[in-house]
Chains A and B, each alone.
Chain A
Amino acid sequence: MERPQTYRKPFILLFFALLVCFGFNISLGSVTIPFSETISSLFGNEIQNGSWDYIIWNYRVPKALTAILVGSGLALSGLLMQTLFRNPLAGPFVLGISSGASLGAAILIMGSALFSGFLTFGLINDVTLAIASSIGSFLVLLSVMVVASRVKDTMALLIIGLMFGSITGAIVSVLSYFTDAEKLRQFVYWSFGSVGNLSWPQLSLLSGIILIGTLLGIIAIKPLNAYLLGENYAQSLGVNLKKSRYIIIIATGLLAGGVTAFAGPIAFVGLAVPHLTRQIFNTTEHRILLPAVLVYGAILMLLCDTVAQLPNSVNVLPINAITSILGAPVVIWLLIRKRKMIF
């Protein structure tokens, strides 16, 4: 038997593609900056136009790094969910994580209008929004985990996650019905998603969260592989089902919750990237798939962001719409070409 395949070539290609996309993403924007100047600024050289330097280092680089973290985080949480639930349609949002975040944001933005007696105005900014949506997603995640300790069947857990999503979605609808146009507009903007607007300290906080989530995912690689056989087989292989399930759920919560808190709800990346990755890496081994989805997710998000910022124009399209427009056809194409979604 030959040694297990290491897929060195596709990995080198992917990393190269990531570098290209990163450079491409940074060199394009509403202000035209020559490509050579962008590169030399990236390597720390002085460039003639000081405001270009400022734009690159305080706007474009943080945005590109955010896109990388968002793409990697969502893609990995998608992979973890698909294996844990052994369902190719699972994504980070089936556990209600994104709807929990929406609920948090909705209560902060629209609820503050309803209960204006208690809350002072001017409370709503990026930081409080991030905090509110993290609290929202973690509350939903906690309730799902409480339920998870009572039900043994992961399919039931999947449906419970969807039900939590419906409940929070309904509360958001009720809130938006009673709110004024200005607040509603603010909430809708948040729900468009955005990878811009993150300061360096926020960025480092997000990278910390993604790092912890990824490390938890790496710890779970062995149980994840065993889960491919089903829970009973995994148990007969000595896997501690309860413990590994918690590790995987917490990892997903950190990854998807963290991303949603800082960048808003971003659809389809978590669902589509693992499937796209399996087109290149024809394996089920998580030691290969885990790093592959991280890189692939980052590339996809950089591309989506490049499209969203409409090079050479001042308009920026909502990133959530772009990922859906690109992501949904991909899923349909996979279904039609492959007849079934394998995982």
Chain B
Amino acid sequence: MSDTEQKHPSLKVEMLGVGYTSKKDDIPVINGVNFDLYPGELNAIVGINGIGKSTLLRTLGNAQPKLSGSIFIDKKSMEVYRPAELSTKISMVLTEPIASKNLSVIELVALGRQPYTNWIGTLTQTDISKIKEALQHLELEELEHKKCYELSDGQLQRVMIARALAQDTSIVLLDEPTTHLDLYHKVQILKLLKSIAHSTQKTIVFTTHEIEMAIQLCDRMLLLDGEENPFGQPCDLIRQKAFESLFPSDTVSFDAETGSFRIEK
């Protein structure tokens, strides 16, 4: 693997402002965010509840318009992509539950191939092998004919990730992929994402409020603190003392030695 310096960023963000537009004016949530994401890396967007992690992720996925700044995908501005084209570049795993739990695992994963299929959605041999690959990667072959309402939360999350993999995009965005899972399944999902990023050279971005886990597992992270919004490798951010100011120091403090937070008594 070559150094990241020689690679081009697959996703480049410059002075990005995200938020909502109302009738009168814009309501910004985050302002002036900068970062470059590279292929083959697992990236986390962390921050406290309500800081705008999901809003930022949704903006990166073009699910809502940005307020200012620019987003570049493969060196081209996001605006030049048509929606159908963009769906071959970015796939998403959202927090919202899927509408029909009557989908079987294989039907759901197969929907990830929609950007590539013809007008009526016929699966070609390539599509079928991509679906099979995604199921294998997430170890879902035995569940492929189960209905989604029969699955546990952890299994369903793996199915949703398989669907995003089947979409075969260079960038995968996941919104809070570990929220409803226990510690074991949280670690399982994140380790899986890391191995997928490294083995398939995809750029994977996920949001989480579990900062300690992100510090241990991801390659780079964006810390949304509402001011500087520092971005970098976890150890660099620790050295910059970026985590210290995240919470009020009289309740929670950061221990740089162990990379964990301590509750002040």
Q: Which residues of A contact B (CB under 8 A)?
A: 1, 4, 86, 218-219, 221-222, 225-230, 232-233, 235-240, 278, 283-285, 287, 342-343
Contact = CB atoms under 8 A, between A and B. Distances in A.
Interface in B58-107: 61-63, 83-88, 90-92, 94, 96-104, 106-107
Given A1-B131, A222-B120, A238-B86, A229 B63 contact: no
Interface string B111-123: 1101101011101
Contacts of A233: 92, 94, 98
Given A86-B100, A238-B83, A284 B107 contact: yes
B107 A86 contact: no
A232 B63 contact: yes
A286 B114 CA distance: 14
Contact of A228 (B61, B98, B128): B98
13 contacts: A222-B120, A228-B103, A229-B100, A229-B103, A229-B111, A230-B97, A232-B63, A233-B92, A236-B90, A237-B114, A238-B83, A238-B88, A343-B102
B81 to A, nearest CB: 10
B100 A228 contact: yes
A287 B120 contact: yes
Contacts of B94: 230, 232-233
B87 A238 contact: yes
B99 A229 contact: yes
A85 to B, nearest CB: 9
Contacts of B135: 1
B200 to A, nearest CB: 19
Contacts of B167: 237
Interface residues of B, number: 42
Contacts of B128: 1
B222 to A, nearest CB: 21
A222 B63 contact: no
Nearest to A154: B99
B111 A237 contact: yes
B149 interface: yes
A283 B147 CA distance: 10
Contacts of B98: 228-230, 233
B108 interface: yes
A263 B62 CA distance: 46
A153 to B, nearest CB: 13
Contacts of A283: 104, 107
Chain A CB within 10 Å, residue with most, of B98, B99, B111: B99
B135 to A, nearest CB: 8
A236 B132 contact: no
Given A228-B100, A238-B86, A342-B101, A222 B123 contact: no
Contacts of B107: 283-285
A51 B185 CA distance: 76
Interface in B169-205: none
A241 to B, nearest CB: 9
Nearest to B64: A232
A283 B97 CA distance: 19
A1 B144 contact: yes
B111 A236 contact: no
Contact of B111 (A228, A240, A287, A343): A228
B160 to A, nearest CB: 9
A232 B59 CA distance: 12
Given A236-B62, A238-B83, 13 more contacts: A1-B106, A1-B135, A228-B99, A235-B63, A236-B91, A236-B92, A238-B84, A238-B86, A238-B87, A285-B107, A342-B100, A342-B102, A343-B102
A163 B94 CA distance: 32
B149 to A, nearest CB: 7
A226 B132 contact: no
A265 B132 CA distance: 47
B111 A225 contact: yes
Contacts of B114: 222, 225-226, 237-239
Nearest to B103: A284
Contacts of B90: 236
Contacts of A239: 83, 114
Nearest to A222: B121
A236 B61 contact: yes
Contacts of A4: 110, 123
A233 B88 CA distance: 13
Nearest to A218: B120
A240 B83 contact: yes
Contacts of A228: 98-100, 103, 111
A238 B101 contact: no
Contacts of B111: 225-226, 228-229, 237
